[in-house]
């Protein structure tokens, strides 16, 4: 059975799609899976034992068409995206059966449940969405006895989801006697990480490393899998941490924790202020005050850390 899967674009969405993808693969015996998606999404799922090939999504339609037409026929095509480009892929791919996710049909529930229901509806099954599953490269475990605290201050969605560098640093300072600290993030979070470093240095903290924009997706997965505690906003790495059941404090502002909180992580705490304007789902605060993040203090996060430790 040959299955062609177009993954969600974002890292976090790809992780949240893993229960649905596992149910899809498990429905068929000896399935061969080919992936297409963004650099981040393909790298996240590329180590799955059923994946035989993967392709990074071409933005140029002509190149995309040429790539798709070079494929043999598939038994099934599943797209977890509802974009025009995804519709184009669906039209071009040679497959006996084709299914495409449409968010209009899945408005209620956690994103994991939405993706899983899409697969259930497509195959006419009733599989339950279980835990997130990421197949990582084998690597040695951490080589010291110190606990590791991960800080993830960024969020690709926009500034409305981002907590403040000084507050991250305040939390790290309070925990620095018990944890070595790793700062995570992508290229767009370099300035935030530098600010955190500046505050840590001012407080005399030197047991940290800054890995912002310095890891591949494989390396990021392995680093997060080795953490003892993770403090993060609503982000892709937050969902990676859930896949490995890492104790996590997730700070929510503009987004809806009922839809995108950590899925089935028994060691997870959400910190949010429950303001009338939450969740606005905007990339930037439309009211210009950013109170959903501004009113979250380091003490709120440290109290949550106590509850999961």
Task: Residue 217: name the closest of 23, 10, 49 by CA.
Answer: 10
Other beta carbons within 10 angstroms of residue 141's beta carbon come to: 7
Measured CA to CA, the distance from residue 23 to residue 299 in angstroms comes to 41
Question: What residue spans in the chain does CATH classification 3.40.50.2000 cover?
Answer: 2-123, 147-308
Residue 140 confidence (pLDDT) above 60 = no
The region of weakest confidence among 81-90, 115-124, 129-138, 218-227 is 129-138
Tens digits of per-residue pLDDT, 18-74? 999 999 999 998 899 999 999 999 999 999 999 999 999 999 999 999 999 999 999
State the average pLDDT over residues 141-163.
Answer: 80
- What is the chain's alpha carbon radius of gyration, rounded to the nearest angstrom? 20
Determine the pLDDT at residue 159. 78
Confidence (pLDDT) at 296: 97
The residue among 279, 263, 282, 183 whose CA lies nearest residue 14 is 263
DSSP letter string, 134-200: --PPP-PPPSSSSEEEEEE---TT-GGG---HHHHHHHHHHHTTTEEEEE---GGGHHHHHHHHHHH
Strand partners, 2: 32
Confidence of residue 112 (pLDDT cuts 50, 70, 90): very high
Q: How many whole angstroms separate alpha carbon 94 and alpha carbon 197? A: 51
Per-residue pLDDT, 2: 97
Could you read off the pLDDT of 239-287 as tens digits, one per residue?
999 999 999 999 999 999 999 999 999 999 999 999 999 999 999 999 9
pLDDT computed for residue 86 by the predictor: 97
pLDDT for the residue numbered 155: 64
Arch. (CATH architecture) of 2-123: 3-Layer(aba) Sandwich (3.40)
Rounded to an integer, what distance in angstroms lies between the CA atom of residue 90 and that of residue 93? 6
CATH 3.30.1330.10 correct for 147-308 = no
Average model confidence (pLDDT) for the chain?
A: 95
Closest CA to 268 of 307, 300, 240: 307
Rounded Cα distance between 24 and 116, Å, is: 9
């Amino acid at each position: 059975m040959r299955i062609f899967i177009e993954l969600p674009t974002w890292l976090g969405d790809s992780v949240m799609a893993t229960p649905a993808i596992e149910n899809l693969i498990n429905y068929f015996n000896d399935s061969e899976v080919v992936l297409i998606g963004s650099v981040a999404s393909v790298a996240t799922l590329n180590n799955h034992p059923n994946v035989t090939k993967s392709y990074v999504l071409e933005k140029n339609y002509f190149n995309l068409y040429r790539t798709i037409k070079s494929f043999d026929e598939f038994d099934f095509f599943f797209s977890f995206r509802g974009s025009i480009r995804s519709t184009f892929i669906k039209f071009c791919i040679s497959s006996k059966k084709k299914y495409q996710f449409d968010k209009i049909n899945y408005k209620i529930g956690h994103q994991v449940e939405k993706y899983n229901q899409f697969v259930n509806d497509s195959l006419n099954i009733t599989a339950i969405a279980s835990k997130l599953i990421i197949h990582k490269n084998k690597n040695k475990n951490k080589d010291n006895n110190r606990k590791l605290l991960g800080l993830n201050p960024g969020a690709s969605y926009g500034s409305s989801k981002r907590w403040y560098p000084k507050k991250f640093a305040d939390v790290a300072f309070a925990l620095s006697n018990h944890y070595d600290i790793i700062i995570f993030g992508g290229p767009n979070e370099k300035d935030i990480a530098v600010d955190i470093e500046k505050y840590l240095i001012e407080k005399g903290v030197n047991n940290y490393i800054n890995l912002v924009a310095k890891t591949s997706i494989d390396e990021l997965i392995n680093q997060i899998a080795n953490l003892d505690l993770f403090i993060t906003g609503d982000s892709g790495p937050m969902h990676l941490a859930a896949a490995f059941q890492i104790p996590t404090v997730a700070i929510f502002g503009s987004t809806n924790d009922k839809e995108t909180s950590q899925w089935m992580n028994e060691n997870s705490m959400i910190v949010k202020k429950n303001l009338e304007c939450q969740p606005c789902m905007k990339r930037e605060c439309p009211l210009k005050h950013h109170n959903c993040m501004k009113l979250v203090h380091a003490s709120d996060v440290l109290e949550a850390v106590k509850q999961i430790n």
